[in-house]
Amino acid sequence: MINLVWLKRDFRIQDHRPLHEACQNGKPILILYVIEPEYWQLPDTSARQFKFIKESLLSLSEQLQQLGGTLTVRKGDVVTILEKIHQHVAISTLYSHQETGNTWTFERDKRVIAWCKAKHVGYQEYRQQAVFRGKVNRDKWQEQADAWLQSDCFPPPAKVNALLHHHNGLELLNDYPGDDHNVASKPQIGGIKAAQQTLNSFFNHRINSYLFGISSPVKSVTSSSRLSPYLAYGVLSLKDVLQQAQVLSVESKRNKSGFLSRLYWHSHFVQKLESEPNYAEQAVHASLVAMRASEFNPERFALWSAGQTGVPFVDACMRMLIATGWINFRMRAMLMAFSSYHLWLDWQKPAARLANLFIDYEPGIHYPQVQMQSGTTGINPFRIYNPVTQGQKYDPDGHFIRRYLPELDHVPSGYIHTPWLYSGLKADVYCPPSILPDDAARAAREKISQFYKQHLDKDETGRVIVTHASRRRSNSRRKKRASTDKHQLKLF
């Protein structure tokens, strides 16, 4: 009889409860990661994500080896693979972390649970975020989240009683099972060493410019924590990072509070998808499902996807994302909003395009944010960013634009954000937009306002508010929590 630890998005040994619990009863342990080809055919997955996972798994295998453990990699359907293992050596208990993923992973998890039940295999699943399954009372969610986030982290096991004494199947990581060639030319590197270096550099000095630079696509490259891919794939524990940050001594308490608030924000958004998995597939507000569906323009989508809309700041942000797999939060929001309003594209295909470009793709954050930015929640204000003024604010001299749009080198700085006004623009090199941004925004505002007036159901709005809307902390609890400030409190 063996214990089996099934890895999904938890490539670490620190604060890994499934691994910790599996080591408690002395049974041999099989630590398994399954490459699932069907998953890598989905529109929101990509080769750049697989590369990061590969690097993180190879790093994890080295850590496990130091504990006497080994990593086993298999390729195929996870239920079929579990059945084959169970036929050769009986699985006593399967240990794993909860995953708030897309609909495919949710259905996959249900099949695994059903298999365990049918085979009388124990199934132990643990959360690695402050996210709760089943019916959740949003008014009490914050207290539950606080309690879990402040609970003790689990130390790495002193020793792993491995079933196998050699790494098995790691060579399967060399063959990407998807059909795309979506790789990043300048990506972040996976694995615990890179994660720890990023964390240390942020805590030691970069955090001091955190709030100063996180909105700029240029400054945010260093002022943002850059921890998002390591948190998304569980190379670092969210709880562990948060608890380290709480005791951190920094020059500016405001920067520390701003970072802490975003760590709490992480679980706040993931809970939305956990509470309503359809968030990833259709408008969360049922009245708004058909708002843009009948007017999808493939040509506009293709230009937006490639960073060729004719609006320089938008295109530069998209091309940075294509090159690196990362861009800051504000620019992600602007890219999604531009596709939804200025181009009037229904949100699903743009959402999938962004997802497969993000190395740090976290479905529980991605889909609620996408719907909020595209106006399909019914409870958030329209977020129609002006891409010209955004560019003038965050890239006044056009250095960022020229870095990613070298075809605009010949355009004077005074026209770099509005090159369609420059008589010397080489239209065969950089084509101006078919509709100017101000005109497109005006038309979108009229369309969405009219649709809301005609179709928005107040009862459905009430349901969305009860299920997903943020809650503020009570005054008494604000006073008790010294590590938060007014910026953090507004998130709940």
Instruction: Write out pLDDT tens, residues 426-472.
Output: 888 999 999 999 999 999 999 999 999 999 899 999 998 888 876 65
Residue 136 in contact with residue 145, Cβ under 8 Å? no
Give the integer Cα–Cα distance in Å for 115 and 95. Answer: 14
Q: What is the mean pLDDT of residues 198-215?
A: 95
Least confident among 125-139, 214-228, 354-368, 468-482:
468-482
Give the integer Cα–Cα distance in Å for 80 and 32. Answer: 13
More confident call, 156 vs 135: 156
Residue 148 in contact with residue 287, Cβ under 8 Å? no
276: left (phi over 0), alpha (psi -120 to 50) or beta: beta
Give the integer Cα–Cα distance in Å for 279 and 462. Answer: 17
What is the pLDDT at residue 472?
54
Give the integer Cα–Cα distance in Å for 382 and 167. Answer: 52
Domain 286-468 of CATH type 1.10.260.40: no
Q: What is the mean pLDDT of residues 348-355?
A: 96
> In terms of Cα–Cα distance, which of 352, 359, 356 is closest to 324?
359
pLDDT in tens, 41-86: 999 999 999 999 999 999 999 999 999 999 999 999 999 999 999 9
Let me know if 225 is exposed, middle or buried by CB neighbors in 10 A (0-12, 13-18, 19+): buried
Q: What is the mean pLDDT of residues 1-27?
A: 97
What is the pLDDT at residue 473?
47
DSSP 35-101: E-TTGGGSTT--HHHHHHHHHHHHHHHHHHHHTT--EEEEES-HHHHHHHHHHHS-EEEEEEE----
Residue 58 in contact with residue 169, Cβ under 8 Å? no
Angle at 361 between CA 332 and CA 106, to 5 degrees: 130
Highest mean predicted confidence (pLDDT) among 272-281, 410-419, 456-465? 410-419
Give the integer Cα–Cα distance in Å for 380 and 268. Answer: 16
Count of CB atoms situated within 10 Å of the CB of 140: 11
The pLDDT of residue 241 is above 90: yes
Least confident among 87-91, 161-165, 203-207, 420-424:
161-165
The CATH number for 192-275, chosen from 1.10.3720.10, 1.20.1430.10, 1.20.120.80, 1.25.40.80, is 1.25.40.80
The pLDDT of residue 485 is above 70: no
> What residue numbers does the annotated binding site cover?
210, 224-228, 259
Give the integer Cα–Cα distance in Å for 408 and 310. Answer: 11
The pLDDT of residue 136 is above 90: no
Query: So where are the chain's domains?
Result: 2-128, 192-275, 286-468
CA–CA distances in Å: residue 84 to residues 39, 76, 79, 90, 93: 20, 11, 9, 10, 15
Least confident among 112-116, 268-272, 380-384:
380-384
Structure tokens, 260: 């802490």
Tell me the one-letter amino acid at 325: G
DSSP 160-188: --BS-SS-BSGGGGGS--SS-----SSPP
Pairing state between β 29-35 and 2-7:
parallel
Structure tokens, 92: 């006593």
What is the pLDDT at residue 471?
61
> What residue numbers does the annotated binding site for FAD cover?
210, 224-228, 259
Structure tokens, 194: 């890179």
Residue 273 in contact with residue 151, Cβ under 8 Å? no
Q: What's the mean per-residue pLDDT of the chain?
A: 91
> In terms of Cα–Cα distance, which of 337, 322, 306 is closest to 46?
322
Q: What is the mean pLDDT of residues 87-116?
A: 95
Structure tokens, 160: 């792993």
Give the integer Cα–Cα distance in Å for 125 and 139. Answer: 25
Domain 2-128 of CATH type 3.30.420.40: no
Q: What is the mean pLDDT of residues 30-48?
A: 97
Give the sign of the dihedral formed by CA 276, CA 278, CA 283, CA 286.
negative
